[in-house]
Amino acid sequence: MSEPVYATRDDWDSFGSEAEPDPDLLDALLARASREVDSLLVGAVYAVDENEQPTDPSVRSALARATCAFVEWWDDAGDISGAAAAGGAVSLGALSLGGGTGASGSTGRTPAAAVTALRVAGLVVRVDH
């Protein structure tokens, strides 16, 4: 069984972002963003159908918004690979290099809008950005 993809092109169009990811890459970005959302859902309990899609419309909507937030964040940062967001604070002895603040007011590798969408739906309690 393939991994679930939580947002479609229609969800992206409804998301209302000013970001403009390459249309040829959008499906792949939504799939990768869905995997990122999955990493935030560890321990979350919600009903799914045979395709691993949530059956509750409010959960489905929250997962779609969180997925789109990742795509928006990557596009805003000019980092569709997500590689730049993976860096965090590094310390070596007395030298400390902080992880910068990413696009959309986020730090680390998780956009705040994605976490908010999942928190409001009761799917995550706390995520360290």
Q: Region 26-35: what's the mean pLDDT?
A: 96
Q: What are phi and psi of 63, to 5 degrees?
A: -65, -40
Q: Which helix (H) or strand (E) holds 100?
A: none
pLDDT in tens, 41-66: 988 999 999 988 999 999 999 999 99
pLDDT in tens, 56-115: 999 999 999 999 999 999 999 887 765 655 555 444 544 444 444 444 444 457 899 999
Alpha helices in 1-129 (DSSP H): 9-15, 26-40, 57-76, 112-120
Q: How far apart are CA 129 and CA 126, in angstroms?
A: 9
Paired tokens of 34? 């869905």
